[in-house]
């Protein structure tokens, strides 16, 4: 059996006397999807930022198969779009592709713009985009280098239903192609649709774990409610 793509052991994050994360263990293999659930302030975004290398744990270890942490293997979509508002949609993707050393960033930009339904607005400044359009462009930016691990923090924010369906289909395809996905969401239905496992956090600690191929939405909802009741 191959080693997990990602292994976390005892990850803690403290800010002075406040513990944002306390002793998180997690493994994620290629092609596997995990949903990270929990109320506001549970530590979900902090955990994703640590995996992305944007924050450092106070203690614990984080390992990637085949070597040390490498941001080039990770795609990250956070609460901020990370877009350059003065650049066009296409220029944003080309610039990001160049940062990752792509051989043909323009072709990759055009491919992703088409997949996100943004070809017609490729030349428009990103700063003039609606929240939904900016979110779609941010998803494309996170995928520009075809990362082996894609981290998504509330990716459905601002998306209308057609764009949401497009994203769901794309994430399912990426998982089938062997990409690992970690999805932070408040939506139980999205989690059940996309993930094989769920990690439920509350007050920085693991309050529950659920597995199933696929996840059962009703079972996941019950486990979520129980986990939060136990922590109350």
Each residue's pLDDT expressed in tens, for the chain with a length of 232 residues: 467 899 999 999 999 888 999 999 999 999 999 999 999 989 999 999 999 999 999 999 998 886 666 678 899 999 888 999 999 999 999 999 999 999 999 999 999 999 999 999 999 999 999 999 999 999 999 999 999 999 999 999 989 999 899 899 999 999 999 999 999 998 999 999 999 999 999 999 999 999 987 788 999 999 899 888 765 5
What count of Cα atoms within 13 Å lies in the side-chain half-sphere of residue 97?
A: 20
Residues 84/98, Cβ–Cβ less than 8 Å: no
pLDDT value at residue 69: 66
DSSP for 5-35, please give it: SEEEEEEEEEETTEEEEEEEEEEE-TT-EEE
pLDDT at site 24: 95
CB contact set of 40 (below 8 Å; sequence gap of 6+): none
Residue with tokens 């792509």: 102
The pLDDT assigned to 72 comes to 80
- The residues spanned by each domain of the chain are 6-231
Q: What span, in angstroms and rounded, lies between the C-alpha atoms of 175 and 195? A: 9
pLDDT of residue 152: 96
Residue 1's pLDDT is what? 46
The pLDDT, as a whole number, for residue 81 is 87
Q: For residue 212, what pLDDT is reported? A: 82
The CATH code for residues 6-231 is 3.40.50.300
pLDDT for 230:
61
The Cα–Cα gap between 122 and 112 comes to: 10
> How far is residue 191 from each of residues 34, 50, 166, 194, 216, measured CA to CA in Å?
8, 21, 16, 5, 10
Q: 27-58: b or e for each residue (b if 16 or more CB lie within 10 Å)?
A: ebbbbbbbbbbbeeebbbbbbbbbbbeebebe
| Euclidean distance between CA atoms 182 and 6, whole angstroms | 11
Q: At a CB cut-off of 8 Å and minimum separation 6, what does 88 contact?
A: 122, 123, 124, 125, 126
């Amino acid at each position: 059996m191959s080693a997990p793509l990602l292994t976390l052991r005892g990850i803690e994050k403290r800010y002075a006397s406040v513990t944002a994360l306390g002793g998180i263990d997690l493994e994620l293999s290629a092609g596997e999807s995990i949903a990270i659930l929990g109320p506001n302030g549970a530590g979900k975004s902090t955990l994703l930022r640590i995996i992305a290398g944007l924050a450092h744990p106070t203690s614990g270890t984080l390992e990637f198969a085949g070597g040390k942490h490498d941001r080039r293997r990770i795609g990250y979509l956070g609460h901020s779009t990370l877009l350059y508002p003065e650049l066009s949609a296409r220029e944003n993707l080309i610039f990001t592709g160049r940062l990752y050393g792509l051989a043909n960033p323009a072709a990759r930009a055009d491919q992703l713009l088409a997949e996100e339904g943004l070809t017609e607005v490729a030349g428009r400044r990103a700063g003039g985009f609606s929240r939904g359009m900016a979110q779609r462009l941010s998803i494309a930016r996170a995928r520009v280098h075809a990362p082996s691990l894609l981290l998504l923090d509330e990716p459905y924010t601002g998306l209308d239903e057609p764009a949401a369906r497009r994203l769901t289909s794309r994430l399912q395809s990426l998982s089938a192609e062997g990409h690992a996905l970690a999805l932070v969401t408040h939506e139980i239905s999205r989690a059940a649709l996309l993930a094989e496992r769920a990690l439920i956090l509350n007050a920085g600690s693991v309050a529950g774990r659920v597995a199933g191929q696929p996840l059962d939405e009703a079972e996941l909802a019950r486990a979520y409610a129980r986990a939060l009741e136990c922590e109350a």
